[in-house]
Amino acid sequence: MKGAISFWQIITFWHDTGKYCNQEELYTKLGYAGNTEPQFIIPSCIAIKESAKVGDQAQRRMMKGVDDLDFFIGDEAIEKPSYATKWPIRHGIVEDWDLMERFMEQIIFKYLRAEPEDHYFLLTEPPLNTPENREYTAEIMFESFNVPGLYIAVQAVLALAASWTSRQVGERTLTGTVIDSGDGVTHVIPVAEGYVIGSCIKHIPIAGRDITYFIQQLLREREVGIPPEQSLETAKAVKERFSYVCPDLVKEFNKYDTDGSKWIKQYTGANAVTKKEFTIDVGYERFLGPEIFFHPEFANPDFTQPISEVVDEVIQHCPIDVRRPLYKNIVLSGGSTMFRDFGRRLQRDLKRSVDARLKIKYRSMLASTPEFYQVCHTKKDYEEIGPSICRHNPVFGVMS
């Protein structure tokens, strides 16, 4: 007899964009509910026999027998050069459901070593996921794995809920603005009472991969002696180890120019072919990499809107009654938001954008009132008294 629901463990899946070698991929993060960290983080890829499996999904459905069991997932798949490596998930959306079902089969039975009939499952989805994808997911989980319960949650809502564990959060709320930035894409997602305001979501074509490419370009321009085939790997290591967000670009350049030895770091790597070590100095790259979030034109001339302005625009497009809580609760999610001082810089720039708009708005309101003409200094007063009349401004006293 099945145990009571209260004794069943909930299995949680996390999805987050990532990068491995030179291929775009998605990492699947999975584990049991209640843990603060996922138990497994594996690439969301599957390696199949190229001779037996290449073809459309309909052909693969017709194939039976032992060959169907000859596949690998995750890191094992990447290490099989004689197999065809497939990526069933792209940008958080499942593109090949047959491969996805086999991928999840190994995740459940091989990694988690769980009986799906005894567990509720929590899966995550990206913003604006299609209803058809949800239905396909339900078919696999309920029909193929016979799970007793399933919940599909939007990543942004889970990020808001996860923020409750922070000491900085005084009030538990599911209303806020989530900035979700992984390796391939960045989204600004407004959430009101647990519901995503889909019409106001904004996509930013700047993410972790773009920072890596930008640092790679900066290192190449300096010709620091990195093996060409390892330039991307080195750039990624520099990004993850040394990068941070600076408060002021000009002052940061001056810091490095004045006392470079204090700020320049050294990275040591090994040539994959000769096995000889190489060492490079990491200077401006430390802060110029993440700076493309705030000056995207450095890396993408087709997109020039800083992330702070995007956040402000998203909130302004939302219903007026939720704007204040959306400004009040901004949650950062994803690996590309983990640069030191990223949140502090975003908060400062966003405050400047809001303050500038409010000043313009208040000036316009003041000039449109009838009292405005009563408190203005006239040319007649100027000719009689002189410029000293502008030493006093009666506007606040009259209009209050």
Name the band, by pLDDT with cuts 50, 70 and 90, for residue 50: low
Domains 5-162 and 199-205+303-367 share a fold: yes
pLDDT at 13 (0 to 100): 47
Answer yes or no: are the C-beta atoms of 293 and 311 closer than 8 Å.
no
pLDDT at 26 (0 to 100): 63
Name the band, by pLDDT with cuts 50, 70 and 90, for residue 80: confident
Q: What percent of the chain has pLDDT over 70?
A: 81
Residue spans of the domains in the chain: they are 5-162, 199-205+303-367, 208-298
Q: What percent of the chain has pLDDT over 90?
A: 38
- Which tens digits make up the pLDDT trace of 125-167? 888 788 898 899 999 999 999 999 988 888 888 888 888 776 6
Angle at 13 between CA 159 and CA 174, to 5 degrees: 25
- What is the CATH code of the structural domain delimited by 5-162? 3.30.420.40
Positive/negative CA dihedral, 110, 111, 117, 122: negative
pLDDT at 9 (0 to 100): 43
Name the band, by pLDDT with cuts 50, 70 and 90, for residue 361: low
Check residue 161 and give left, alpha or beta (phi > 0: left; psi -120 to 50: alpha).
alpha
Answer yes or no: are the C-beta atoms of 283 and 264 closer than 8 Å.
yes
**φ/ψ (deg, to 5) at 94:** -75, 125
pLDDT at 59 (0 to 100): 59
Answer yes or no: are the C-beta atoms of 197 and 321 closer than 8 Å.
no
How crowded is residue 155: how many other Cβ atoms within 10 Å of its Cβ? 24
Short-list 175, 152, 153, CA closest to 164 = 175
pLDDT at 159 (0 to 100): 86
- Which tens digits make up the pLDDT trace of 20-47? 232 334 678 888 887 778 888 888 889 9
What is the CATH topology of the domain spanning 208-298?
Actin; Chain A, domain 4 (3.90.640)
The mean per-residue pLDDT over the stretch 10-23 comes to: 39
Superfamily of domain 199-205+303-367 in the CATH hierarchy: ATPase, nucleotide binding domain (3.30.420.40)
With 0.75 as the threshold, say if the pTM is over it.
no
Give CA–CA dist 266/281, Å, rounded.
Answer: 5
Provide the token pair at 133.
């994808």
The mean per-residue pLDDT over the stretch 206-226 comes to: 90
